[in-house]
Amino acid sequence: MRPGEPKKGGGGGMFTWGRADDMSNYKHIEEDLNDPNYESDPSIEYHESSLHSSPSKPITITSQTLPTSLTQEYWVFDHLELKKETREKVEEVFTQSTYSGFIAWLRSLKRNKLHSYIFARTVQVTLDKTESEHEVAWGLLELLSTAKLFTSREIRRGFDRIYRNISEIMIDSPNAPEIVLELLANTVIGKALNTNSIIRVPSSVYNLGQGSYVLRNVKQEIISIVDGVRNSQEIVVGDLIETIAETKEKIVEIIKEYYASGVSEGIIEYVKTNKIYGSIVVRKAVELALDRNNKDKELCSRLIGELSGYCSPETLVEGFDDILWNSKELIIDVPEAGDIISKFLARAIVDDCLPSNYIYEAEIINDENIEISILLSAFQLLKTKEAYTSLQSVWGPQVSSIDEFKQVFKTIIVELFDSKDLKNAEECLKELGCKHYMHEFVKEIIEAVMDRNENEENIVAELLKNLQIRGIVLENQVYRGFERVEANLQQLTLDVPKAAEILARLKVKLSS
């Protein structure tokens, strides 16, 4: 049997701790599982613990009420103190042979936001245990993950923290990757996490040690519902990770098509049949919209709203978690990304795509300054009385119908001939973000210049050149615009006898 190979029907491996659903290795402790501090209730009361750097009064968050103020300290806690205290409490489990002290300590904190950190730290501490202590260690981890002491969101975020620190963990525990992934596999099998959690394993962790071998021995039923028909198939979860790069490329292409056409059917159909990738779709949609115009940003917000009808609320939470935690890298390419992300976040809450308490339950993993700044900016947008109205138009006034586009095109053309301001016309067209319909603008401006002078012909030619150079109007859209004018030449000639001559001149000027 190879190292890391699951034993006992998938419940063994490097530590041979047994299956996640095997409770025979330790005495079950009867606890109050209805404790409101440990349920995913829409109304959550937060109490500051001694670990928090800025104690304050309890805050009650519901879908109807929000705290009137938040500061940076709200998300900050003493990592060193919590790290030390977690180790002490885990050690007590082994020295006292009971879990009750650990559970009592968890409940004394009364701060759910610490749970993912505690889960990650507990896993790291148990990795150091000797073989004779492995059953107790597994019992503790299994208790945390399946006895409702932590929510699935807290466990998922705990694993995310572990992945980010795996190199450090491996210094003391070289075989940590396969042990962590075996724990993940058993947690999924035990229903404490859903299958989506598998694809969150970074390839850099999956390919360490025997980690890939562990997941390649786990199979999972994937269920999709299309047109009311329930379909299921059994897959090897390792395949999901090994093909994730190709999957992400496909998702990016589908989203780009959506931004080009404004038609969401394709991406909605993809999500309906591939719900497991919903959080990736959300993340990629926002990331691709960061350096696009406001029209595409509005399309992105609308897409998130549509996706919320096909994905679980937790899927969207996962997507925004990833966006928040990746913000440091995103700002490198798009310096204003932080401000844009905060608007997407606030808009998603207003549209009921994210829980109203997402900001308060959000966790900081990579960069305190950037991530907290995003959360505070979103909070500021949400706390005004006019939040709903203002956030519905956070990306500016929008146009969506063909008739509206035509009217805007005509306004831009009139202003261009009045002001001769090419730059303004370019910016107005860019903000519209309708590359798939720019042939209409080309047709309109060519027909409009037919009864004007040659100087204005030159302005139109220069504008169309600049629009192509800047990528605002694609070459095929210019070609289609000219084609449409040619098809209408007979009618145009009735009002402008030299229409064909003018059109020919514009073609020459545009190609020179």
Report residue 285 CA to chain centroid gap.
Answer: 8
pLDDT at 282 exceeding the cut of 90 = yes
Q: How far is CA 323 from CA 214, 269, 288, 329, in A?
A: 28, 23, 11, 10
User: Cα-Cα-Cα-Cα dihedral of 366, 367, 370, 376, to 10°?
Assistant: 80
HSE at residue 445, side-chain half, CA atoms within 13 A, is 29
What's the mean pLDDT in 296-318? 91
Q: Categorize the per-residue pLDDT at 359 as very low, low, confident or very high, splitting at 50, 70 and 90.
A: very high
Phi, psi of 97 (to 5 degrees): 55, 40
pLDDT at 190 exceeding the cut of 90 = no
Select from 224, 228, 274 the least CA-distant residue to 251: 274
pTM over 0.75: no
pLDDT at 183 exceeding the cut of 70 = yes
pLDDT at 44 exceeding the cut of 80 = no
Architecture (CATH level 2) of domain 36-222+233-238: Alpha Horseshoe (1.25)
Architecture (CATH level 2) of domain 402-511: Alpha Horseshoe (1.25)
Query: What's residue 185's pLDDT?
Result: 82
Query: What's residue 45's pLDDT?
Result: 31
Q: Categorize the per-residue pLDDT at 301 as very low, low, confident or very high, splitting at 50, 70 and 90.
A: very high
What's the mean pLDDT in 293-300? 89
Q: Are strands 59-61 and 219-226 parallel, antiparallel or unpaired?
A: unpaired
Decide which of 34 and 241 is more confident.
241
Fold equal for 243-392 and 402-511: yes
Query: What's residue 386's pLDDT?
Result: 73
Average pLDDT value over all residues in the chain? 79
Task: Look at 38-42, 110-114, 258-262 and tell me which has the smallest mean pLDDT.
Answer: 38-42
pLDDT at 109 exceeding the cut of 60 = yes
Query: What's residue 107's pLDDT?
Result: 82
Residue with tokens 């070289």: 174
SS3 state of residue 37: helix
Query: What's residue 294's pLDDT?
Result: 87
pLDDT at 171 exceeding the cut of 50 = yes
SS3 state of residue 252: helix
CATH entry, 243-392, from 3.30.420.40, 1.25.40.180, 3.30.200.20, 3.40.50.300 = 1.25.40.180
Question: Could you state, in order of their start, the residue ranges of all structural domains in the chain?
Answer: 36-222+233-238, 243-392, 402-511
What's the mean pLDDT in 497-508? 92
Q: Categorize the per-residue pLDDT at 49 as very low, low, confident or very high, splitting at 50, 70 and 90.
A: very low
Contact call for residues 509 and 458 (beta carbons, < 8 A): yes
Contact call for residues 65 and 43 (beta carbons, < 8 A): no
pLDDT at 229 exceeding the cut of 80 = no
Dump pLDDT digits (tens) for 210-222.
777 777 666 655 4
Task: Look at 68-82, 127-141, 237-251, 371-385 and tell me which has the smallest mean pLDDT.
Answer: 127-141
Query: What's residue 2's pLDDT?
Result: 31
Q: Which residues contact 258 (CB under 8 A, 6 or more apart)?
A: 264, 266, 267, 299, 303
Select from 140, 144, 107 the least CA-distant residue to 27: 140
Percentage of the chain lying above the pLDDT 70 cut: 79
Query: What's residue 194's pLDDT?
Result: 81
Contact call for residues 116 and 145 (beta carbons, < 8 A): no
* Top-ranked range on mean pLDDT: pick from 101-105, 166-170, 293-297, 316-320: 316-320
Query: What's residue 60's pLDDT?
Result: 33
Q: Categorize the per-residue pLDDT at 292 as very low, low, confident or very high, splitting at 50, 70 and 90.
A: very high
Task: Look at 97-111, 158-172, 450-464 and tell me which has the smallest mean pLDDT.
Answer: 97-111
pLDDT at 38 exceeding the cut of 70 = no
pLDDT at 40 exceeding the cut of 50 = no
Report residue 379 CA to chain centroid gap.
Answer: 18
Reported as type and span, the H/E element at residue 225 is: strand 219-226
